[in-house]
C-alpha cells in the first residue's frame, strides 16, 4: 500500500533521510524507532506531504505523493489521520467539537457529524466525556480525543509522531493498545516512538532509523538487537 523508493531528504547540507526504501502493507502496525535526529519525523512528514523528498519516490495506494501538486495535498490528507505528541486540541472546543471540527469544515451533514463523532469517541472510550474541554481531561484522554479526530473520517492510514511522548507508561500502553485495535480494523498505523518497553510489549514490526538510513527492519522486536542500537531514552522507558 505504501512504497518508499530511494527516498532522500536534504535540509541544506544535512541529510535527514538517505536513500530510504520501505514498504508498508494495508492494516499493518509498524513502530519506527531511532535516536533524535535519525529522520523519524521527517519520514512521517514526507508521507503527509508536509515536506517534499529531495529525491526518490513515495506512493500511498495509487497516489504519487512525491509528485503530488500542492492543490491535491488536502485530498491526500483526507485519506490519513495524523496524531501528535502535543495532541493539537483546540482549547476552546469540547472533545466532541474538536473531533467534529474537521468534519464540519469538510462539509459533512450535521446528522452525519454527530453519528461519526459519537462512533469515534466511543471507540476511544470517551463518549461520556464528549462535552468536556481539553483542560478538563487528563493527558491520556486528550490524546484519545486526538486519535478520535484522526479516525473520524475512517482513513486507511494513520500516522502518529511520538503519540505518548507526554504520557506516563501505563497510559502510553493504553494508547498503543488503542492504536493496535484501530490497526486490526484494517487501518495501516505508522508510529514513531522512543518507548522501548512498549515497542517490545506490542510485538509489532520495527523499523530502526539511524543517521537517516534504515539500520534494521525487524518483523518482530528483538530485545538484544534493539538494546544494541541504544535508541531509547532511559528516562522514558
Partner 1 sequence: MRTLRILIRTFIEAYGSIRYSGMSNLIVIGIMAVALALLGGVLQLNSTIKQISQNMDSQIEFSVYLQDSAVPDEIAKAISRNKQVERVEVVTKDAAWQRFKKKFDLVDDGAGNPLPNTLHINMRSPKYVNDVITYVKTLPGIEQISYAPELFSGLEKVRSIMFSLGIFLTVILGFGTFTIVSNTIQLVIRARALEIEVLRLVGVDDWYIRGPFILHGIFYGLVSALVAILPLWLFQKMVWDSFQSALKSLMPLTFNFNSGSELALIFIALTLIGMLVCGLSSYFTTEKYIRI
Footprint of partner 1 on this chain (CB under 8 A)? 48, 70-71, 73-79, 82, 88, 90, 101-102, 104-109, 149, 153
The residue (of 98 and 193) whose beta carbon lies closer to partner 1 is 98
d(CA 116, CA 100) in angstroms, rounded, equals: 8
CB of 7 to partner 1, least distance (A): 21
Cβ closer to partner 1: 90 or 225? 90
Residue located via cell numbers 531528504: 9
Q: Supply the minimum distance, in Å, between the C-beta of residue 121 and partner 1.
A: 16
60-69, Cβ contacts within 8 angstroms, sequence gap of 24 or more: 60/1, 60/2, 60/157, 61/1, 61/156, 66/7
In the complex with partner 1, the residue whose CB is nearer, 105 or 224, is: 105
Minimum distance from residue 19 beta carbon to partner 1 (Å): 28
- Whole-number minimum distance, CB 75 to partner 1, in Å? 7
- Measured from the CB atom, is 40 or 149 closer to partner 1? 149
Q: How far apart are CA 85 and CA 198, in angstroms?
A: 16
Q: Which three cell numbers stand for residue 126?
A: 470517551
Please give the Cα distance from 42 to 54 (Å, whole number): 12
Q: Give the shortest CB-11-to-partner 1 separation in angstroms.
A: 16
Compare residues 2 and 76 and give the one whose CB is closer to partner 1.
76
Amino acid at each position: 500500500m505504501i512504497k518508499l523508493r530511494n527516498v532522500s531528504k536534504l535540509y541544506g547540507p544535512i541529510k535527514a533521510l538517505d536513500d530510504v526504501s520501505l514498504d508498508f502493507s494495508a492494516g499493518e502496525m509498524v513502530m519506527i524507532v531511532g535516536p533524535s535526529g535519525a529522520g523519524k519525523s521527517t519520514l512521517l512528514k514526507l508521507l503527509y506531504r508536509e515536506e517534499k523528498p529531495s529525491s526518490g519516490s513515495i506512493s500511498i495506494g495509487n497516489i504519487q505523493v512525491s509528485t503530488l501538486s500542492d492543490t491535491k495535498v488536502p485530498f491526500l490528507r483526507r485519506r490519513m489521520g495524523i496524531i501528535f505528541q502535543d495532541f493539537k486540541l483546540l482549547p476552546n472546543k469540547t472533545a466532541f467539537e474538536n473531533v467534529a471540527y474537521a468534519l464540519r469544515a469538510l462539509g459533512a451533514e450535521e446528522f452525519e457529524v454527530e453519528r461519526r463523532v459519537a462512533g469515534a469517541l466511543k471507540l476511544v472510550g470517551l463518549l461520556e466525556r464528549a462535552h468536556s474541554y481539553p483542560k478538563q481531561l487528563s493527558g491520556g484522554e486528550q490524546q484519545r480525543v486526538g486519535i478520535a479526530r484522526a479516525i473520524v473520517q475512517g482513513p486507511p492510514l494513520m500516522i502518529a509522531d511520538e503519540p505518548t511522548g507526554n504520557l506516563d507508561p501505563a497510559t502510553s500502553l493504553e494508547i498503543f493498545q488503542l492504536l493496535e485495535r484501530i490497526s486490526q480494523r484494517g487501518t495501516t498505523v505508522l508510529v514513531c516512538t522512543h518507548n522501548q518497553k512498549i515497542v517490545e510489549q506490542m510485538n509489532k514490526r520495527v523499523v530502526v532509523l539511524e543517521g537517516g538510513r534504515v539500520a534494521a527492519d525487524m518483523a518482530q522486536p528483538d530485545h538484544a538487537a534493539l538494546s544494541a542500537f541504544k535508541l531509547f531514552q532511559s528516562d522514558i522507558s
